[in-house]
Structure 1
Amino acid sequence: MDIATLIGWAMGFGAVFGGAALEGLHMGAIIQPTAAIIVLGGTFGASFGSFPLPAIIKAFKDAKKALMPGNNNPETVIKDMIGYAAKARRNGLISLEQEAQSIKDPFTKKGISLVVDGIDPQKLRETLEIEVAHYEEHEKVSAEFFEAAGGYAPTIGIIGAVLGLIHVMENLSDSSKLGGGIAVAFVATIYGLVTANIVCLPMGTKLKQRLKEELVVKEMVIEGLIAIQNGENPHFIEQKLKSFVH
């Protein structure tokens, strides 16, 4: 569980609604279902129109990464690579073929298979880096989806406010309703700004950070496998891979 995300949301919503309460604003004035429908429906409607359906489904599935970090542990990668290197030095690279069968990570498994096949180290690097590049392009769409939603939300909030003001203008003859009507109109703007700056944009940033962590791990795997193929000392490999870890 990523505590930072929970703290961020708690602080963000707490600052907005807690500050409003301290100013004496009644919470009922902020809770406006109509404004929520306009902002959320309009925001995600625009976002859905900007991305293909598979990318949208993936984005919502990947949203859990903001709360649940993946299994991208650099220390585990270092430990595994040292083990592979030691085994390869004792029994040869062909001994890693059996090891590959028990590896769960598809990227590492593919890399081990290429090493066992005796592919040239330069070709090995090129092949794995191409896969990493495609993986990055595929994964960053989820972050782009939430960033797009964060860009649309404030504008949709303004649209909601304008719609509310139109309703107020229709009731100019009744001055007793003007203050309350204008207040309700501006709630949509608040919803748009909160949706963008506390939910969607931070979500996109967090997913980008998760992707960076995954790419670092994959780079470590590439360097480790090439070092193993070159027959480098396991201790030297350990020191090299530790340079990736802050």
Structure 2
Amino acid sequence: MDIFLIIGVITGLLSVIVGMIVKGANVAVLLNPAAAIIILIGTAAAVMNSFPKKEFLNIPKIISVLFKERENDDPVDIIEQIADLSKTARKDGLLSLEHVMQGMENKFLKNGLRMVIDGMERDHIDEILNTELDNMEERHRLGASVFTAAGGAAPTLGVLGAVIGLIGALGNLNDTEKLGHMIAAAFVATLYGIFVGYVVCHPFASRLKRKSHEEISNMRIILEGVLSIQAGENPTSIKMKLSSMLKPNDRAKLEGNSKGE
């Protein structure tokens, strides 16, 4: 579970509540079923109209990916693993990797090694893995675009909700006390819309894009590593080549691990 993301959502909600208290606004006004219906159902309808059924029904899976803290994603660990596989392949031959693959969790690395063991040509392996990588990147882009669409629709629906609320308020001009409460309630929909759009949906889209970028970067490291193993390069050379694909902090960590060996 990605606790940091949950903390971010809760912090955003608390900032609204605390801000209202500081300004002397009645927090109870946030409990507005009509505004919730307009924003939540309206946003869902906007997404339904923007994407086909298959992609809309895939939203729960996208959300699970969003909140899931992925393990074994450290690029330094991946490079260390590839270097160890290279040592095994150089010492005992490529066929010896078949035994190592049995407990391997990374499917992309496992598929790449399987093709190497099966004796496929370098260009063929490169083409297959790049195609898989491109397809995954496109799936991730579509997943993020769902939240981008929702983030664009929610604030506008908030304005729509405010207009609907004001229409109701203007129908009760004779009761001035009730009129004030209705006007205040009318703008709750706008608050809901802005919150859902700019504190939830757009940040969720950004988080998905970031997760995708990290996963794609790791897959590119694996692709180069697999091709290097097939070429019979030594582990030190592989580490040096793959380290150029790391961020400075990760590169320093890899260098520190190498010195400690």
Q: What range describes the TM-score normalised by the shorter chain of this pair?
A: over 0.9
Match of residue 97 from structure 2: 96
Match of residue 143 from structure 1: 144
TM-score using structure 1 length:
0.93
| C-alpha deviation, 1:3, in angstroms | 4.1
- The answer to whether structure 1 residue 217 and structure 2 residue 203 are counterparts is no
Per the alignment, in what secondary structure is the counterpart of residue 103 of structure 2? coil
Q: Trace 1:113-132 onto structure 2 (pairs within 5 A).
A: 113-132=114-133
The 1-side partners of 2:130 and 2:226 are apart by 12
Match of residue 47 from structure 2: 47
The 2-side partners of 1:193 and 1:182 are apart by 18
| C-alpha deviation, 1:245, in angstroms | 2.8
After superposition, what is the alpha-carbon deviation per residue over 1:15-55, rounded to whole angstroms, capped at 9, x for unaligned? 22211111111111222111111111101121122223332
- The answer to whether structure 1 residue 82 and structure 2 residue 83 are counterparts is yes
Structure 1 letter corresponding to 2:186:
A
Structure 2 letter corresponding to 1:46:
A
Indicate conservation of the 8 Å contact 1:115/1:229, yes or no: yes
| C-alpha deviation, 1:167, in angstroms | 0.7
| C-alpha deviation, 1:242, in angstroms | 2.5
Q: Unpaired segments of 5 or more residues in structure 2?
A: 248-261
TM-score using structure 2 length:
0.88
Match of residue 234 from structure 1: 235
| C-alpha deviation, 1:144, in angstroms | 1.1
Q: Unpaired segments of 5 or more residues in structure 1?
A: none
Structure 2 letter corresponding to 1:237:
I
Q: Trace 1:144-163 onto structure 2 (pairs within 5 A).
A: 144-163=145-164
Indicate conservation of the 8 Å contact 1:65/1:210, yes or no: no
| C-alpha deviation, 1:185, in angstroms | 0.7
How many positions carry a matched residue from both structures? 246
Root-mean-square deviation (CA, aligned residues, Å) is 1.7
The 1-side partners of 2:25 and 2:105 are apart by 54
**Among the aligned pairs, what percent are the same residue?**
38
Indicate conservation of the 8 Å contact 1:63/1:207, yes or no: no
- The answer to whether structure 1 residue 206 and structure 2 residue 192 are counterparts is no
The 1-side partners of 2:7 and 2:82 are apart by 36
Per the alignment, in what secondary structure is the counterpart of residue 50 of structure 2? coil
The 2-side partners of 1:239 and 1:160 are apart by 58
- The answer to whether structure 1 residue 244 and structure 2 residue 231 are counterparts is no
Per the alignment, in what secondary structure is the counterpart of residue 101 of structure 1? helix
The 1-side partners of 2:114 and 2:145 are apart by 33
Match of residue 252 from structure 2: none
The 1-side partners of 2:132 and 2:104 are apart by 18
Structure 1 letter corresponding to 2:137:
E
The 2-side partners of 1:58 and 1:241 are apart by 34
Q: Trace 1:158-173 onto structure 2 (pairs within 5 A).
A: 158-173=159-174
